Structure formats: C-alpha cells, structure tokens
Structure 1
Amino acid sequence: MLGHFPKANIAYAHNMRDYFIAAFTFFCVAVSLVIDGSASIETQNILGVIAWVFLIALLFGENKEIRMQVIIAVAFATIGEHFASIYMEGYTYRFENVPLYVPPGHGMVYLTAVKLARSGFFLKHARKIATFVIIVGGLWSLWGVSGIPKQGDQVGAVLFLIFVICLFKGRSPMVYLGAFFICTWLEIIGTAAGTWKWASIEPVFGWSQGNPPSGVAAWYCLVDAVAIGSAPIILNNLKRIGDWYRAENNQKSIH
C-alpha cells in the first residue's frame, strides 16, 4: 500500500528552490485572492497578467518534463474550470467568469505540489505527513456530514475518500500530499474572501456541498495525475516529430 512512498529513515537533501517556490506560491495565493475578494474586474485582469509573469519566471529553472507537466495542468484545469464553474455552476466566481489569474494560478499550484513532493522535508516525513492529512481531512469530512454545519458536505466526504484512495494506490502520493496543503490553503482563503462560492447543492447528484468541500484536493489530484501521465507521452511524440522533420530536411539537403 505504501509502495510508492519514499523510504523512511533516510537523509534526503534539501533544495532551497523547492521551499522558495512553495512559500512564494502560498504567499501569492493569499494576497491575490484577498485582493480579488473586493477588487474590480480591471484589477482582476491585472492580477492575471502578474500571475502569468510569475509562472513563466518560475519555469525558467525547470526541465522540459516539468514544463510540459505544467502546460498540461494549465490546459486541463482551465477546461475543467469552464465546465465545472461556467457550465455546471458547481461553484461561481464573483463576476461569474473564470478570472485571468486562474490558469497560471493552476500552473503555480501544480508546480508547488511537485516541489513540496520533492523537498527533503516531505520525503523524510512522508508517512507522518500522510497521517496528519488523513486525520485532519477525515475529521473535516466527518464534521461536514455530521449535521452540525448548516451547509452539509456529502460531496466533500466522497471526494476525501477518493483522495485517500489516490494517496495509497496512485503512483505519485507525494504530489497528492503537496496538493492537499496548497489546495486547502487556496480554497479556504478564496471562499472566505468571497472570491468564489461553492453551490450548497451539487448540480449532478443533488448532494450537499461545503464551501469549500472538505475533500476538494481530490479534484486537484486529478489534474496532477493527468499532467504526470500525459507529459512523457506528449514529449515522446514531439521528439518523434522532431526526428522525422530533421530526417526529412537531411534527405532534401542531400538531394
């Protein structure tokens, strides 16, 4: 069950870039979401431009595999945002749009999950962190279906079960752990600031849904899984296309 977790009792190296990117993203998320909670659409668009600049700057120090993963995460998450928010109305942003900072924001969130996953701290304390996440997330989910909060959270409980399954059965549990922290952070701040609001009743099954749902990190884990799984396939195909193109040019130059 823990086959994809890092080995315990090993001295893992610390890369300060990992911690910087994580801390920078946590800070940017808090500031931008609080600002957007009461900002004009013009200010929201400016936040979007700034977010793209930050994401591109952070990717300069990454290899092509991580860059491709981020590109896929941004594309997949953006499509998901328009479907889940605009079409399904599972949650709604203040201006009933998808803010311009959301796509690059997803890129920064994904990159942060990867950096936390590879950090020396997470690798060394993986099992303790997983235990903490399961306890906190489990209690949050139980509270949501206990009948105590006015806005129940059946969706959150189901999503958290899916998250736990992904954590122990998936091939990238450390990325999912990283996603739990950054995603929980941004969801709590975003909903508290009024930047977006989750529908009290989920539109497909009619289940109660928290604001935010307790297991919301499961949605982000889906983005992570798609990015990690698709990146090598796309890179390999791009390499084949590049090799074919160069071979064709070489043939033409010979003739």
Structure 2
Amino acid sequence: MGVLKIPKYDLKKFINVFNRRFGLFIIFVFVLFFDSIYFVENILDSQIPINILMIFGFIVMYWRANPRTKELMIYAVILGFGGEYLFSRGLNMYTYRLENVPLYVPLGHAALYGRIFMFSKAPIVRKYHKKIERLFGICIGIFATVYLIFFTDVFGFVMTICMFLLLWKRPKDKLFFFSMYILVATLEIGGTAFGCWKWPSTAFDVFTFLPSNNPPSGISLFYFLLDIGCFFMYTQRHKITWSRLKSIQRNHV
C-alpha cells in the first residue's frame, strides 16, 4: 500500500497533522453521548450545555484559523443553518431527537469544514496526497460496500457512487472530500447510535426504491453543496483577486 512507503519521519508528521485536525471531532463523537436518548432519560437533558461547548470550541478554532479559513467558516455557518432547516425540517431527510436543529450542528458543520480544509492544505498532506487519496478511496469503497451488503443501504451506496463520479471530474478535490467522507461517516455513526438524530428507512422517507441505513454511508455527498456554496460566496467577495488567479492559471497552461 502506498502510504506504507512514506518515509517514517514524514509518516509521523502526517499522523500528527491527522490527529490535530481530525482528533477533536473524533472526541466530539463521544460528547454526543450527552445528547443521547439514554443520557436524557436517565440523567438530564444537556443539549444546551453541548451547544455552549460547541460555541466555545468554534470560537477557539476560528481564532486559530488563517484569514481565508475564517471567512469560509463564517459562510459555512450561514449555509449550515439554511441547509439543516431545509433538509431536516423541510424535506424530512433526517430528524433530530427534539425535532429541532440543535445549535451545535450548523456550528459543527463550519468547524468540520474548516478543519478538513486546513488538513487538506497541510504541506505534508499535499506532499503525499495521491497516496493518501488512494488509501482513503479504498477505505470508503469498502465501507460503502459493507453497508450495502449487510444493511441494505442502497441510498448511501448510490450517494457514494455519485461522489466518486463527481470527483472523477474534479480530481483536485479528492483529498478534501475523501477526508470529509470519513469524518462525516464517523460522526453520523456516533450520532445515530446515541439517538441524537435518526434517518428513515428509505431516502427522504419517500423513495421506497432507495432503502437507507441509519445512517446512510454516503451522506457526505451533500457537503458538495456546502463546499460549492462557500466557494461561490468567497469568489464573489474577492472578485478581483479571483480574476487575477484565474488569469495566472490560464497563462501557465
């Protein structure tokens, strides 16, 4: 496997970057337990403290981010709120425990977007991006196939295939979205296991020909919308800079 051929010193640097950028969200999976059905029924409803914790975590991540990432995180918060109310409350794509949209969710989208953006731009990650993309792609393919075979997750498998097809046309985005897929899948497994939210047995609880697991495997496909939205808002605010960059790129072709 390509990753195993990375020199030991560089591999340690990559693992360090991975832990710093991904580790916080893996820990947050366990924080979701405090918004779980078990915790609420046996101890207390702690969704408000979790919201406060996420606000604090978001502020810390925002403070440490570079200017471009900060701006993208703000756009992601705005789009995150709109997307959550559209897909959850409007289209019934999934349902939160209290049938609301917890504050920690859209803030979490923005924080996740920012962390993965920084991870994908890290020098050591860029240096070995093809090897990392290959490893992540294999893991994603196995994960989606297992979900399809053992959990009849047709909806998730179809979304995963769509993601691969979209990235076939946008190869430069592979690292970002493969990383996004893996982290989103981890959060979804934890959140649904604790009962913080749930997915219906078919896509949108409407399309019976698309059976779905709780959660479906390929839900990160919808982060394409978040990425496109953030990218569009960023380029519109920096039209002159973006025009110059495109001009430079054309001159080097």
- Normalised to the residue count of structure 1, the TM-score between the two structures is 0.77
Does the aligned pair in 2 maintain the 1:22–1:115 contact within 8 Å? no
Distance 2:219 2:197 in 1: 14
Unaligned segments of structure 1, at least 5 residues: 1-7, 238-255
Q: 1:153 — aligned with what?
A: 153
Q: 1:36 — aligned with what?
A: 35
Within the candidate set 61, 68, 72, 1:69 is matched to: 72
Q: For structure 1, which segment, 115-124 or 175-184, has the greater mean C-alpha deviation from structure 2 after superposition?
A: 115-124
Q: 1:167 — aligned with what?
A: 167
Does the aligned pair in 2 maintain the 1:188–1:212 contact within 8 Å? yes
Q: For structure 1, which segment, 191-200 or 163-172, has the greater mean C-alpha deviation from structure 2 after superposition?
A: 163-172
Distance 1:33 1:158 in 2: 28
Bigger proportion of residues as helix: 2
**Percent identity between the two aligned chains:** 25
Within the candidate set 103, 106, 113, 2:106 is matched to: 103
Q: 1:202 — aligned with what?
A: 203
* Alpha-carbon RMSD: 2.8
Flag as ranges the 4+ runs of structure 1 deviating above 6 A.
15-18
For residue 25 of structure 1, report the CA deviation from its aligned partner. Answer: 2.9
Q: 2:187 — aligned with what?
A: 186
Distance 2:18 2:61 in 1: 11
SS at match of 2:201: coil
For residue 187 of structure 1, report the CA deviation from its aligned partner. Answer: 0.8
For residue 236 of structure 1, report the CA deviation from its aligned partner. Answer: 4.3
Distance 2:19 2:228 in 1: 22
Matched, 1:86 2:85: no
Bigger Rg, structure 1 or 2:
1
SS at match of 1:69: helix
Q: 2:243 — aligned with what?
A: none
Distance 1:107 1:25 in 2: 12
For residue 48 of structure 1, report the CA deviation from its aligned partner. Answer: 0.9
Unaligned segments of structure 2, at least 5 residues: 1-5, 241-253
- Normalised to the residue count of structure 2, the TM-score between the two structures is 0.77
SS at match of 2:98: coil
Q: For this pair of structures, how many residues does the alignment match? A: 225
